[in-house]
Chain A
């Protein structure tokens, strides 16, 4: 066993290798070499045998030669001097009449990776490029790339580069593709191989000669080509049409990538290509290899971001199969949620229901939360299933269901009635912390409709001493406070006990601080408390899913056919699976929950400006100096993902609403505006989204119509024609329904524009606009505002 007696075995092998009797018997010699390689691949260090192996390489037995070369390539870097001995043998082999030996020698020579050998290698490589056997030319071409990587600084001879370019016309397709690969590496600093019109057309004409690997490489290189005319573009597209529906997923994906990059300015053609690729992608989803299935599913999720309806009728292809691993099932459920429409919702929910009792807890949980997400658009049907699951009285299922219901109610407050009747009895089943927290939150919010709510809370309060989880205690405090506000008689006593415990005995400062806050709040009076605690019952900003606008293809095309889509655990960020939804929401928008009277009387700088009748845009004289507007165009690219948006927004928001004064050199502009109009908040999200898209403003999340407060988040890029500088603008529209709206904490705002309106006499609504611009450019911001105002006025006039 080489594992056990490593040293002993190596000594044994050395003896055998240098035994003249064995050396004279080719078969025995080969077997000893074989043993060395076996030991090597099992992890034994056999580097000591280097000199013996160098000798073993001088043989006519090709198999033995190959084995020795495997060894040498592995250990050459440890013995650069001895390796010089090999070079002679290798150079001799390069002249062997057998092309297989020639290619083997050339490949091994370049694989030794020794910079000291470069001078010996160049000559055989040059000869190799002109060898009559294709297999030698293949090796020689890549050999130059290897040589280049050994001496990264040095220039490769221009004549070699020229020769490589001319070998693109080699009759052997693998040589051609290898030339592309080698040139890409050698000319990396210059942007890779030149893809001009003759080369492109040559490559396209020979595409069909390549095998699938060659084809996908060529297709990828061609992405750099920009056709000179529309005719040429369509010639290329029609030539590639058959590759688009290739049964080989690598070719299909590479072709689609190429199509999308060629047609970035022709959305209709891109759309048609995506539809055409549907069949092969679905076939890949049913592939026998589960890894291939997974890759296809991840890419389908990308496609659905732009064309949500692409696969609606094929939803059954995404039903999970009995024996699939959990990670594939999870992806399939994510796709199913995206595919839901009026026709298939019953079937999809039925199927998902079957997964909820899956033996794998991950799968069961994923199914339950998938039903919850569908519930945002089809709440009755989903809730029926979810409440049915509570009847099973299983701790894990109940916990997942309660959490899902909490997230659902947060987005769809209209289902709270059904929910409150279903909550009775859950507390007996729930075991884990997250489930209990979700239940407590629901009881706090909807306690007035759950008759047993105080008794449930009492059980938890009695057990608070043995409770270890900090989050549980915090949630318990808040819920009890909330319940006290709507059912004081039943709750007063237990609230007293809980506060007493938390203030007097609790060791954790967070809990204690929270309890003290509530205690003092109660001293301020019941109305104050109510104002603080009974804020939002539903998500003021709306989830990402509802009315999620179709993203432009450019948003994901750069990651298509790369490893990136396979890496992320979920495309849409799973909201609020941990902790209360309002906490998450308040992370996103800290200001909105705070009522005015907590505002410490902090008043913001108010610039009074004239209400310009023309655009009804309230603006400060300082910021918006009237004058010639620069010529500004808006554009949607590069796209900003919701996560990215949130990050930028939060970062700035913290800066501007926090204590820190914004530093001077910070090249950002944070401003708030008010737009007055008649009826905007009542138009549908789709209308709004479409209207914004017309002027190249992307809406990223918005509340449903008629909800209050009503919010829209949006972004765009501005591009000035005169200076060709561009800026990114992020924005928030807020309509609270009140005529007078005061912005809260904003002490040290860098640029603060706020117009206090005295009256909204003619029934006009005020929409507060908060904008973030990066880098700052006041004049483009102004141009943007006027565009935005125009859109909103147009919409409101349509509504009115």
Chain B
């Protein structure tokens, strides 16, 4: 039987934010023991499970905080880690955001949550539908007043084009405020994909995995059924032959247990009654395959100039469709040990590059990169005593980026219907995002 003896939340600096003892088996001094242990670890020691006498600490990091449970050795690590993650998601749902400040301001609410979620160290429920009947405390929103919120109100209150786009902060509010404060009834469907790609030095795609999920964040007071249609031409599994058209292929997919799949096999329609707050409705994977060309290619030239400096000429091409663009692109180029300074020539003023000595890398940032275009940059790195062997230290380039309004698999939500039709105006938002889990181009 899995039981949690104590549960506590610490800030990254070790401040005690929340402490709850469920079984009275150990004193509260273990909080300090934990913090001393976790900060004393060396780089390669795995921190997730640590023990102190008979106590075993399991912790996760979420929102910059330590979420720690003490338990017995025979507990399932999967269950405890999943539970701690779920707990942090609940706190995020109830407080609107996850940060040290949010936890501090809402400690009464969190104690209330902890009281209902666990009893005597045994998990009772983590469903926000059940919990909403028990949680009485109002969330205190830690979001400061922002001019950005005003910018969404059109001139003289008129509907503008802008209001068709949900502000990015729209989904970071407490779920319970919708009940009393007359908050809008809204539903957000996010299709989020993570790419991990390795491209060889000869440009060959060595590895390409996409892990995706559909997340629903629901702010609707009354539970109503949602029907969500995905691409009709969607094939699941490896065995199926590739059709002609632009069918979307997934190798594996799994669904939240509340999702009804009667219409999935025939019409690719998911039906579910979402609970308040955020939940992952579907998870899917596509491995060793990309439906289209990889979004970025790099053509590097690396040499040593006559003055003994390291010259890196980088040509980066974005192979997205012309109408799309990547944002927050950043390329990290490892440079030899002993690099001292950097001078660069970039093709536009909004880009920048710097040498980060701590990471031994040149980081080249491109705020926006349109599809079908190409950027180039010349980096000159001063490395005292550069030898030709040191050129080999210019290691694989890591790219991080976000591709808004785009899914790498091509998965789309065709429609999103609520039934019964909501009494008030219910807003439905569908957002797509692909980001890089790990995008590595060898040079």
Contacts and interface: CB of A to CB of B under 8 A. Distances in A.
A319 interface: yes
A220 B76 contact: yes
A393 B389 CA distance: 8
Contacts of B59: 291
Nearest to A390: B389
Given A100-B133, A250-B79, A561-B77, A322 B438 contact: yes
Interface of A: 34, 37-38, 41-43, 62-63, 66-67, 70, 74, 100, 107, 113, 135, 138-139, 142, 145-146, 149, 174, 177-178, 180-181, 184-185, 211-213, 216-217, 220-221, 245-250, 252-254, 279-280, 283-284, 286, 288-292, 294-296, 298, 314, 316-317, 319-324, 326-327, 330-331, 347, 350-351, 354, 357-363, 366, 388, 391-394, 561-567, 569
B253 to A, nearest CB: 9
Given A211-B127, A294-B48, A314-B287, 17 more contacts: A34-B108, A37-B107, A62-B136, A67-B111, A177-B122, A213-B123, A247-B283, A254-B79, A283-B283, A292-B85, A294-B46, A295-B77, A316-B287, A319-B196, A322-B400, A392-B393, A564-B73
Interface string B31-63: 000000000001111111101000010111100
B19 A41 contact: yes
On chain B, which size bracket covers the interface?
35 or more
A145 B48 contact: no
Contacts of A142: 119-120, 122
B76 A254 contact: yes
Contacts of B49: 563, 566-567
Contact of B76 (A245, A361, A562): A562
Contacts of B256: 247
A37 B108 contact: yes
A181 B122 contact: yes
Nearest to A63: B136
Contacts of A221: 1
B75 A563 contact: yes
B248 to A, nearest CB: 19
Given A34-B108, A138-B119, A347-B206, A184 B1 contact: yes
B337 to A, nearest CB: 6
A180 B1 CA distance: 9
A317 B287 contact: yes
B13 to A, nearest CB: 14
B42 A354 contact: no
A76 to B, nearest CB: 11
B209 A317 contact: yes
Interface string B331-366: 010100100000000000000000000011100000
25 contacts: A63-B112, A66-B111, A66-B136, A138-B124, A178-B124, A212-B82, A217-B1, A217-B2, A221-B1, A254-B79, A279-B252, A283-B283, A286-B211, A291-B61, A294-B46, A316-B206, A322-B440, A324-B438, A326-B43, A327-B43, A347-B206, A357-B392, A359-B359, A562-B74, A566-B49
Contact of A330 (B2, B44, B60, B438): B44
Interface in B397-412: 398, 400
Can you list the 4 inter-chain pairs with the closest CB atoms, starting with the nearest? A321-B438, A247-B254, A250-B79, A322-B398
Nearest to B60: A291
Contacts of B257: 212
A213 B107 CA distance: 25
A563 B78 contact: no
Contacts, number: 230
A67 B108 CA distance: 7
Interface in B280-333: 283, 285, 287-288, 332
A38 B16 CA distance: 11
B390 interface: yes
Nearest to B81: A291
B222 interface: no
B169 interface: no
B68 to A, nearest CB: 11
B243 interface: no
A41 B134 contact: no
Contacts of B209: 286, 316-317
Given A216-B79, A292-B82, A366-B44, A357 B395 contact: yes
Contact of B16 (A41, A70, A177, A212): A41
B220 to A, nearest CB: 22
A354 B134 CA distance: 53
B1 A220 contact: yes
Contact of B51 (A279, A360, A567): A567
A564 B126 CA distance: 26
B285 A569 contact: no
Nearest to A61: B136
A564 B2 CA distance: 14
Contacts of A37: 107-108, 111
Contacts of A43: 16
Contact of A562 (B73, B84, B360): B73
A394 B337 contact: yes
B119 A566 contact: no
Contacts of B136: 62-63, 66
Contacts of A565: 77
Nearest to A566: B49
Contact of A569 (B23, B45, B360): B45
A356 B47 CA distance: 23
A326 B440 CA distance: 17
Given A253-B76, A283-B254, A289 B438 contact: no
B379 interface: no
Contacts of B115: 66, 70, 107
B236 to A, nearest CB: 12
A61 B119 CA distance: 22
Interface in B193-246: 194, 196, 198, 200, 206-207, 209, 211
B112 A66 contact: yes
Interface string B114-145: 01000110111111000001101100000000
Contact of B111 (A70, A252, A327, A351): A70
Count chain B CB atoms within 10 A of each CB in A107, A291, A326 and give the residue with the most.
A291
Contacts of B273: none
A788 B83 CA distance: 51
Contact of A563 (B56, B85, B126): B56
A156 to B, nearest CB: 15
A242 B395 CA distance: 44
A467 to B, nearest CB: 26
Nearest to B201: A350
A212 B124 CA distance: 11
